[in-house]
Amino acid sequence: MRWIISNLLIVALIVVALVARAAEAQTRTSAESYFHRAMQRYARGDVDAAIKDFDAAIAFNPQNAVAYSNRGAARELKGDCVGALADFNRAIEINARLAVAYNNRGHLRFGRGDVDGAISDYSIAIEINPGYDYALYNRANIRRDRGELDGAIADYTAAIKSNPRFIEAYNNRGNTRFAKGEIEAAIADYNQAIRINPRVAFNYTGRANARLLKGDLNGAIADYSRAIKIDPRFAEAYANRGLALLVQRRPSEAERDFEKSLRLDPALRATLEERIRKSKKSEK
């Protein structure tokens, strides 16, 4: 009888272990299913549904650092900065080597005006993953805005090395080189960005500005016109094309562009009037 009882106990323990293992597998599968659906919904722009799925994924697996980081990004999109920061912090607590969580927290901090905190987070993300293109790009933008042009160019270059089709990095490196007076290098960056995607308006305006500085008025006007064709509401492109037309002594066409730019963006008036004064003074 004791032998029978012992065997029954062993069988019972085996059954319990199998049930526990099955439950664990089910939990893991459920967590992964919610996580993947959340990612799909987030990619489609269905942020509310994505957050609900991230909630479910985290409920099944409270140690999923990536789910916290991604839910934080979704919450930030919804304007819930407090919730987003809590999620990024929690993701980093779970996994202190999760570079994307530092990059996401850096983005949030920058948006809230904590520039030093942002650059610190981007730098940690880059230390963890030296080829992290978005962290490099984000840090480069701050360095550029601070006037650290060489550092910004170095970061843009590293981002491009990691992601050779990173259009925004080419464009912003071009803008930074333009600010340094490296006009030919800037044009080369704009050219590359245009080769990757010829349907991005701001690449043409960047190249147009560089061509205008070189005195290539026809090339500049052609680029501004291309930008306007892609984005008919690009107020700055109308304003700058107007300035180029003014230099070419085509005042009626220039005036039409100025009027159009101000209809689209009345806040440009003071800047545009100052540019026109400088253009006329330079011509004299």
Average pLDDT over residues 182-207: 97
**Six-digit token string for 164:** 């050779």
Report the share of the chain in percent with pLDDT over 70. Answer: 88
Instruction: Give yes or no for residue 103 having a pLDDT over 90.
Output: yes
Using alpha carbons, list the distances in angstroms from residue 236 to 132, 194, 205, 211: 32, 19, 9, 16
pLDDT at position 79: 96
| Whole-structure pTM value | 0.85
What is the rounded CA–CA span in Å between residue 82 and residue 79? 9
Instruction: Give yes or no for residue 284 having a pLDDT over 70.
Output: no
Report the topology of domain 31-129.
1.25.40
Window from 8-22, 107-121, 148-162, 231-245 with minimum mean pLDDT: 8-22
Instruction: Give yes or no for residue 25 having a pLDDT over 80.
Output: no
- Angle CA(98)–CA(103)–CA(106) in degrees, nearest 5? 130
With cut-offs at 50, 70 and 90, classify the pLDDT of residue 253: very high
With cut-offs at 50, 70 and 90, classify the pLDDT of residue 279: confident
pLDDT at position 275: 86
pLDDT at position 155: 98
